[in-house]
Amino acid sequence: MTPLRQRMLDDLRMRNLSPHTQEAYLRAVAKFAQHFGKSPEILGLPEIRTYLVALTQRGVSWGLYNQVRCALHFLYCVTLKRDWPADQLVCAKTPKRLPVVLSRDEVSSFLSAVRNLKHRAMLTTLYATGLRASELVGLRISDIDSRRMVIRVQQGKGRKDRYVMLSPKLLDLLRDYWRKYRPAAWLFPGQDPRRHVDRRVPVQICAAVARRAHLRKKVTPHTLRHTFATHLLESGTDIRTIQALLGHRSLRTTALYTFVSMKTVLGTRSPLDLLGQLTMTVLASATPAVAPMTPDLLQPPTAREVTP
């Protein structure tokens, strides 16, 4: 490890940023240095701008673009103590897209297609609790509180603890899973029992199960999280409760699910339906008669008709 990389890692740790953020920032800076074949210490604003423009030309997502920009901002402002022209190296505006949500029938088909008991326990936990993939793999046996029927999520995104509900059906499944696999510390250990399973594993399992279930939608752990929140909203759960369960800092983030809830969409009447019957009768009578589409109307014009 180079001295600069160690200094940046120390700065990241002193600010208590999550291991995932530390890894992402260090990886972004390493790729920046590889792009120019030089140490970032001898690079400056022109190279940063050139690199960010190159990322846009390569078609990377705007989320990744902003992550790289933040990593370079941290390196130069915090670790190297240099000025950062905020007006020249701004964050990109990310497009707002609605999340993919599965119907209840699709969830049933998806979970029914899981053959491995451990995989079924992992995917069912994702849907039943709305956890992120990183939060799922970080669960310990001691986090399952069957007396209070809750699951404790320790140090989720934003370094925050929270509780989510423990479904009786999920508890029965987790007990069956425990009796077969006997995990000791981590609820879902990896090949090395001393470490939890890699957070990329649930992503791979979701993709494989979705293909087996013949689902046309792309299914990821976050798809199950979106589905959890949307189904709660459709069943009448208060949006602030959903916010607490998801661990969202802002209610505006949770409010996104009001745009994908079918209960909200289908339960809202069109203003056309609110017009009185008399008005609808007037509209119908005011509609001009349309000539029938006879074969003659479909024929091309004659030569005389197109001659000026």
Please state the φ and ψ torsions of residue 49, each to the nearest 5 degrees: -65, -45
Q: Which of 73, 162, 212, 222 is catalytic?
A: 222
Q: Which of 5, 157, 212, 263 is catalytic?
A: 157
Q: What's the rounded Cα separation, in Å, for the pair 107 and 113?
A: 10
| Catalytic residue flag (residue 199) | no
Q: Which residue has the tokens 């087996």?
A: 212
Q: Which of 132, 196, 226, 231 is catalytic?
A: 132
Alpha-carbon dihedral sign for residues 42, 47, 52, 58: negative
Q: Which of 120, 225, 226, 231 is catalytic?
A: 225
| Catalytic residue flag (residue 214) | no
Tokens linked to 2: 């180079």
| Catalytic residue flag (residue 225) | yes
- In DSSP notation, 76-117 reads IIIIS-----TTTSPPPPPP--PPP---HHHHHHHHHT--SH
Contacts of 219 (CB under 8 A, 6+ apart): 100, 102, 110, 206, 207, 209, 210
Tokens linked to 10: 């120390």
| Catalytic residue flag (residue 177) | no
Q: Cβ of 116: how many Cβ atoms within 10 Å?
A: 11
Q: What's the rounded Cα separation, in Å, for the pair 287 and 71?
A: 62
Q: Which of 69, 196, 226, 248 is catalytic?
A: 248
Q: Which residues are annotated as catalytic? A: 132, 157, 222, 225, 248, 257
